[in-house]
Chain A
Amino acid sequence: MKFTLKIWRQKDAKAKGGFQTYTVDNISPDTSFLEMLDILNNDLVHKGEEPVAFDHDCREGICGMCSLHIDGRAHGPGTAATTCQIYMRKFEDGATITIEPWRSAAFPVIKDLVVNRSAYDQILQAGGFVSVRTNSVPDGNAIPIPKADADESMDAAACVGCGACAATCKNGSAMLFVAARVSSLAKLPQGRVEGARRAKAMVAKMDELGFGNCTNTGACQAECPKAISIAHIARLNREFLAAKFED
């Protein structure tokens, strides 16, 4: 297969970026999208040009490192898949593919397609944890948890923190990301103890970092590589409101 690639190149955070066009040829349909970029990069190195910088690591759809807007869609044409899980058979032979970094003010570009997502770490540092010390805990089976609750907690906990939700949201909102963590812990007795504090602290931090508000367009859910439901946003809202009423 052969492709024309329009790729966003930007030297560093301060430089002005722009699209550059490349072509790749002899690509097998079984090649992954990122392997296709590896092939392009190897060619660029041979020509003495700087390869395209992009984030990636596990290539199994779980580390959350890979990103990219591909033809305007976060994580490209797949559903419930990260960019590393997209294979070239998804594209038509001869297609022109546009590749951009995450489009979000909260994730500034570091270089080319690599962005800074430390805002997500900061939100979790504000309260995305259970305050238990190492070795000061009861037996794992001391508190039975209904299977349905544990399953729902796990549904939310599947979030890989990739940033697609905020990057795809027209408001640049991180609500799905925040909701996933809040909701996952809210469904478990271990997380309930600090539930109110957590919801308030994480929402406040999200606002402080410049993420936008949620207007329930559902775009985040559509592009989430782990198909996390916006029902978790409803739970976050309930947790947040209940916490505010307690104040």
Chain B
Amino acid sequence: MALKLDSKIPAGELAQKWSNHKAAIKVVSPANKRKLDIIIVGTGLGGASAAASLGELGYNVKVFCIQDSPRRAHSIAAQGGINAAKNYQNDNDSVYRLFYDTIKGGDYRAREANVYRLAEVSNLIIDQCVAQGVPFAREYGGLLANRSFGGAQVSRTFYARGQTGQQLLLGAYAALNKEIAAGSVKSYPRHEMLDIVIEDGEARGIIARNLVTGEIERHGAHAVVIATGGYGNVFFLSTNAMASNGSAAFQCYRKGAGFANPCFTQIHPTCIPVHGDQQSKLTLMSESLRNDGRIWVPKNIEDVKAIRSGAKKPSDIAEEDRDYYLERRYPAFGNLVPRDVASRAAKERCDAGYGVNETGLAVFLDFKTAIERLGKDVIKQRYGNLFDMYEEITDVNPYEQPMQIFPAVHYTMGGIWVDYNLMTTIPGLYAIGEANFSDHGANRLGASALMQGLADGYFVLPYTIGDYLSHKIQAPKVDTKTAAFDEAEKSVKERIAKLFAINGKQSVDDIHKKLGHIMWENVGMARTKESLEKAIAEIQALRKEFWKDVKVVGTADSFNVELEKALRLADFLELGELMARDALNREESCGGHFRSEHQTEEGEAKRDDENFVYAAVWEYKGMDEAPELNKEPLNLEFVHPAQRNYKD
């Protein structure tokens, strides 16, 4: 059975769509809101802002997170900033320009209507956060400051030092606390959703595991919202937090929700290079550093060798012997090209043998010019915490020697398919923030993840969810003693028992590292038909290995991190294959998805707008069955796809 993909994009002019839609959708009266229950899974920017806003509206909200407090969600780690079309810098920014940059940055693979709405509500987000007491950076006149980010020629990024995600999340978390105190929201920290419960084709609730006691709990609601972020940890090494996972989204997919564009993965160009095989986590250096840092490798291979051997320091290389390759290749945007472009350019230089560390997988990010121009104090004020962190990790002082950086997995643009209301293909089940697929196309611009999470949670979902819930005002409280809940709980318990019963020889991390290796080598920055077919076969084999040979110690009815990791890895082992299949299907290069077979003579991504202007929406058919492909045509009406030009 094919999925029914009705995007519900309102008719009319782009700028009027959201207004028209809001006027057309139904609302729920205060008296009825009190009778309706909503479950929100995840407390990052999307989940926390949605929970706070929905609680404030009068719904009964239950909010779940796997960490010990909602404040720890991985949104907190976002460094650089949040975009908005305020035009406070008078540089001719506008809602349209933000919309256009985002569509173009996403390589024309996102929905126009969603992206326009995102740009439209971006300004409200800044107002909201300021009112909550978010200490954004300010100018001496007391007004809000901005910086520039990749993929834009205007300064529209608002920031709070290098801790913008933290400050925005603390704002949303404070709003959430206000509602928890008021009793409209109940918080369930250290709880993990392990299944979604569907009854009569609609979402009815979740099965969650209390991570402290191991107890399996049933929670019913009239609507369920997935706000659990992305699945970048399928690569084992990524900039995602250690516990970030794709399992909640995967349960939805397994129960029938479409999963869109799973292969669209963002590889962030400025991360600290991998140092050995014992590493658990990669660290991001904010994109904001590209405002003042210049990326280069030596022009001469002799210099590369001298640096690797320690015979020369990077600062010994004369200006004319440096290849500022982004400035050379993309004069108009220079070091501020979008992430996918910058990552591929780094890979190109390293593949050519110019990588500057012993592994050959690093390039320089140099502040020499900026320090000469602005002075060390200004640079310290702008990036001090990032420089300190870099020195702490690498033992190198970036004020004296350039940073070494290399691309790493950072964000997933793909996710659960949603319509314009952010509802999945399962009625009553919503997905917001990074967990959905809708706004970033094939590549997300910097400072747009925070924007999307908060747009969805504060300004979109609180309206659109009412349209569905208006049909539920007569519905009683969800009964969690039904056959659907029995069955979901039973399957969760069986899955856990099965994991313990294997009692094999490999730890969860052993197998996760193998998966990460397969993914990075074959489904990473450059993909080919051969590499993807190889990845699919290898992942299938590894999945069998996992279910035969994994060792999960401890018990089910206690605090057990190994069990948590095993459950998540089991899903990653299916998700990785899905990503490879999607990448194999998409016979074009676009954004973060680069098929080596499809490139221009200059090595740029070559889209196929004849055949691939669609969202690839996959439908689950079973663990060892090929999923079915459904297509949502993107019907670009207002922008005309062109080859992305960051050169002039």
**Interfacial residues, chain A to chain B (CB-CB below 8 A):** 11-12, 27-28, 30-32, 34-35, 38-39, 42, 44-46, 48-51, 53, 55-65, 78, 80-81, 85, 87, 89, 110-111, 114, 116-118, 120-121, 124-126, 128-135, 137-141, 144-147, 150-151, 153-154, 157-158, 160-161, 184-185, 187-188, 190-191
Contact A141 B144 (CB under 8 A): yes
**Min CB gap B551→A, angstroms:** 6
The one of A78, A130, A134 that contacts B56, using a Cβ cutoff of 8 Å: A134
Q: Which of A63, A80, A85, A154 has the most CB of B within 10 A?
A: A63
Quick one: CB contact mask for B371-398 with A, threshold 8 Å, 1 for yes? Answer: 0000000000000000011001111000
B137 is contacted by which of A28, A126, A150 (Cβ under 8 Å)?
A: A150
Known: A121-B177, A140-B127, A157-B170. A147 touches B280 (CB 8 A): no
Over the window 135-151 of chain B, the binary record of Cβ atoms lying under 8 Å from chain A Cβ atoms (1 yes, 0 no) is 11111111110000000
Query: Which of B216-224, B558-566, B591-599 lines the interface with chain A?
Result: B558-566
The docked-state distance in angstroms from the alpha carbon of A69 to that of B394 is 24
Contact indicator A157/B242 (Cβ below 8 Å): no
**Contact A12 B559, CB 8 Å, known A45-B553, A61-B389:** yes
Contact A60 B283 (CB under 8 A): yes
- The reply to whether A110 and B212 form a contact with Cβ atoms under 8 Å apart is yes
Complex Cα spacing A185 to B554, Å:
44
Partner of A130, one of B124, B131, B212, B508: B131
A124, B174: Cβ atoms closer than 8 Å: yes
B567 close to chain A: CB less than 8 A: no
Return A206 CB to nearest CB of chain B, in Å. 15
Known contacts A56-B242, A63-B74, A191-B133, A42 near B509 by CB under 8 Å: yes
Other-chain contact of B561, A53, A65, A125 (Cβ < 8 Å): A53
Within 8 A of A (CB), among B527-557: 551, 553-554
Residues on B with C-beta less than 8 A from A150 are: 135-138
A137: B residues at CB distance < 8 A: 127-128, 130-131
- Supposing A55-B68, A134-B53 touch, asked if A157 and B135 sit within 8 A by C-beta, the answer is yes
Interface residues of B in 377-436 (CB under 8 A from A): 388-389, 392-395
**Nearest CB of chain B from residue A163's CB, rounded to whole Å:** 10
Assess the B132–A190 pair: CB atoms within 8 A: yes
Shortest Cβ gap from A139 to chain B (Å)? 6
B558 with A128: CB separation less than 8 A: no
Tell me if B280 and A38 are in contact (CB < 8 A).
yes
Q: Could you list some 17 contacts between A and B, CB below 8 A?
A: A11-B558, A32-B280, A32-B281, A35-B280, A38-B280, A38-B509, A48-B551, A51-B562, A60-B77, A64-B72, A85-B392, A121-B177, A124-B174, A125-B180, A137-B127, A147-B139, A157-B160
User: Smallest distance from the beta carbon of B144 to chain A beta carbons, Å?
Assistant: 6
Q: Which residue of B lies closest to A64 (CB)?
A: B72
B contact residues around A158 at 8 Å (CB): 161, 163, 166
How far, in angstroms, from A27 to B174 measured CA to CA in the complex? Answer: 41
Which A residue's beta carbon lies closest to that of B510? A42
Q: Write out the residue numbers on chain B whose beta carbons fall within 8 Å of the beta carbon of A132.
A: 128, 131-132
Q: Name 10 extra pairs, CB < 8 A, besides A45-B509, A140-B126, A154-B137.
A: A31-B279, A34-B280, A60-B283, A61-B389, A121-B71, A131-B178, A134-B56, A134-B462, A135-B459, A147-B139
Within 8 A of A (CB), among B63-102: 67-72, 74, 76-77, 86, 88
What separation, in Å, do the CA atoms of A65 and B71 have in the docked complex?
9
Give the docked Cα–Cα distance between A48 and B129 (Å). Answer: 49
In the assembled complex, the CB of A175 is this many whole angstroms from the nearest CB of chain B, namely 19
- The answer for the CA separation of A60 and B174 in the assembled complex, in Å, is 22
B181 part of interface (Cβ distance < 8 Å): yes
Q: B163: which A residues are within 8 A, CB to CB?
A: 62, 158
Inter-chain contacts of A11 with B (CB < 8 A): 558
Task: Find chain A residues with CB under 8 A from B133 CB.
Answer: 130, 153, 184-185, 188, 190-191
Contact among B88, B130, B181, B389 with A190 in the assembled complex (CB-CB below 8 Å):
B130
Q: Are A31 and B127 in contact (CB under 8 A)?
A: no
Residue of A nearest to B160 (CB): A154
Q: Quick check: A65 and B68 within 8 Å, CB to CB? A: yes
A145 touches B280 (CB 8 A): no
Q: Is the CB of B135 within 8 A of A153?
A: yes
Residues of A within 8 A of B187 (CB): 121
Set of chain B residues within 8 Å of A141, measured between Cβ atoms:
86, 88, 143-144
Complex: A124 Cα to B281 Cα, angstroms:
30
Cα–Cα, bound, A158→B141 (Å): 23
Roughly how many angstroms separate A147 CA and B278 CA in the complex, as a whole number? 44
Q: For residue B244, which residue of chain A has the nearest CB?
A: A57
A27 cross-chain contacts in B, Cβ below 8 A: 278
User: B147 to chain A: closest CB distance in Å?
Assistant: 15
* Shortest beta-carbon distance from B465 to chain A in Å: 13
The distance in angstroms between the C-alpha atoms of A138 and B132, with both chains bound, is: 11
Bound Cα distance from A79 to B453, whole angstroms: 33
Q: Which residue of B lies closest to A154 (CB)?
A: B135
B189 part of interface (Cβ distance < 8 Å): yes
B128 touches A134 (CB 8 A): yes
Q: Does any Cβ of A come within 8 Å of B167's Cβ?
A: yes
Alpha-carbon separation in the docked complex, A226 to B127 (Å)? 27
**Cβ of A135 and Cβ of B128 under 8 Å apart?**
yes
Q: Which of B135, B138, B280 has the most CB atoms of chain A within a 10 A radius of its CB?
A: B135
Does B392 lie within 8 Å of A87, measured CB to CB?
yes
A65 touches B131 (CB 8 A): no
Q: Give A125 to B241 CA distance when docked, in angstroms.
A: 25
Q: Which of A31, A45, A64, A124 contacts B551 (CB 8 A)?
A: A45
A65 touches B175 (CB 8 A): no
The 7 A-B pairs at the shortest CB distance, nearest first, are namely A144-B142, A137-B131, A129-B174, A154-B135, A153-B135, A45-B507, A59-B281
Q: Is B313 an interface residue (CB 8 A)?
A: no
A85:B389 contact, CB within 8 angstroms: yes
The distance from the CB of A150 to the nearest CB of chain B, in whole angstroms, is 4
State the Cβ distance, A20 to closest chain B Cβ, in Å: 16
CA of A116 to CA of B76 in the docked complex: distance in angstroms? 20
CB of B283 within 8 A of CB of A116, answer no
Cα-based distance from A62 to B78 in the complex (angstroms): 9
